């Protein structure tokens, strides 16, 4: 009985080892001022960006961020001019019998009187504007860029780049349409080396004999 009682007492008197004895001793707590700062305000968005990541500060990323707006204006204006001038060429060149036996863009009524309709022109320019704005963001015209800078706080430093991109985009869009309609234009003009104002007006605003009214009209009604 004594042996059993002694063993039972040892079991019940067992004390597990202290957790602190299993680890290295902790350093003493410093009595000086704490260096930890409690953040009470949300961090700015730029502090969440990993500054060491090469994607954000690489040369390609900087070039992409700088050129994306100008590229949008270039392609947006190119699409606008391409659709619009293509509608001009289709509407005007289709009236030449040697090019198109049945004029497109016209409506023949019961009285056999050919009535010109502006449906194809409106659809062409409307589609160009809609697609251009959807792609670029809304300017696609130097007049719009200038107005945004004067009255809407658009950065003036971006105005020259935007206007240059729009100019180059318009030239490229008109060149694409000209290459597509070159044969028809040659037929209209009567030769491959002949170009007059009657076909130049398909791609741009050309001057007429009344210079001051034409200049004023172009200033207030510019579209390309």
Question: In the structure, what pLDDT confidence band is assigned to residue 203 with cuts at 50, 70 and 90?
Answer: confident
Average of per-residue pLDDT across 69-88: 88
pLDDT of residue 127: 83
Name which residue leads in pLDDT, 75 or 107.
75
Best mean pLDDT range from 84-88, 121-125, 212-216: 84-88
Question: In the structure, what pLDDT confidence band is assigned to residue 111 with cuts at 50, 70 and 90?
Answer: very low
Instruction: Answer whether residue 62 is part of any domain.
Output: no
**For the chain, percent of residues with pLDDT exceeding 70:** 54
Cβ-count burial 124-144 (b if 16+ within 10 Å, e if not): bbebbbebbbebbeebbbbeb
Question: In the structure, what pLDDT confidence band is assigned to residue 113 with cuts at 50, 70 and 90?
Answer: very low
Q: What is the extent of the structural domain holding 84?
A: 70-198
pLDDT of residue 114: 42
Instruction: Answer whether residue 133 is part of any domain.
Output: yes
The number of domains in the chain is 1
Q: Does 124 score more than 60 pLDDT?
A: yes
Compute CA distances 9 → 14, 15, 17, 87, 200, whole Å.
Answer: 9, 12, 18, 105, 113
Strands (E), the chain: 106-108, 114-116
The CATH number of whichever domain residue 186 belongs to comes to: 1.20.1080.10
pLDDT of residue 176: 94
pLDDT of residue 201: 81
Q: What average pLDDT does the chain have?
A: 72
Instruction: Answer whether residue 174 is part of any domain.
Output: yes
Q: Does 134 score more than 60 pLDDT?
A: yes
Instruction: Answer whether residue 95 is part of any domain.
Output: yes
Name which residue leads in pLDDT, 172 or 14.
172
- Give burial (CB, 10 Å; 0-12/13-18/19+) of 33: exposed
Question: How far is it, in rounded angstroms, from Cα 154 to Cα 144?
Answer: 11
User: Helices 159-180 and 182-189, interaxial angle, to 10°?
Assistant: 70
Instruction: Answer whether residue 120 is part of any domain.
Output: yes
Instruction: Answer whether residue 111 is part of any domain.
Output: yes
pLDDT of residue 27: 63
Instruction: Answer whether residue 219 is part of any domain.
Output: no
Instruction: Answer whether residue 40 is part of any domain.
Output: no
């Amino acid at each position: 009985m004594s042996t059993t009682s002694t063993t039972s007492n040892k079991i019940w008197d067992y004390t597990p080892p202290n957790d602190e004895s299993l680890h290295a001793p902790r350093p003493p707590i410093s009595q000086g001022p704490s260096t930890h700062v409690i953040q009470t305000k949300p961090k700015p968005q730029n502090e969440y960006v990993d500054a060491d990541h090469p994607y954000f500060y690489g040369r390609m990323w900087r070039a992409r961020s700088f050129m994306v707006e100008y590229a949008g204006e270039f392609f947006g204006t190119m699409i606008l001019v391409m659709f619009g001038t293509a509608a001009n060429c289709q509407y005007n060149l289709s009236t030449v019998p040697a090019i198109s036996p049945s004029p497109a863009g016209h409506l023949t009524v019961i009285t056999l009187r050919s009535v010109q309709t502006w449906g194809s022109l409106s659809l062409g320019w409307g589609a160009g504007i809609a697609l251009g704005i959807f792609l670029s963001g809304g300017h696609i015209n130097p007049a719009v860029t200038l107005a945004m800078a004067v009255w809407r706080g658009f950065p003036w430093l971006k105005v020259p780049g935007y206007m240059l991109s729009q100019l180059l985009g318009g030239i490229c869009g008109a060149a694409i349409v000209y290459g597509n309609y070159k044969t028809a234009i040659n037929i209209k003009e009567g030769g491959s080396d002949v170009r007059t104002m009657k076909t130049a007006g398909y791609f741009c605003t050309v001057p007429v004999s009344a210079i001051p009214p034409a200049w004023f009209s172009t200033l207030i009604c510019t579209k390309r």
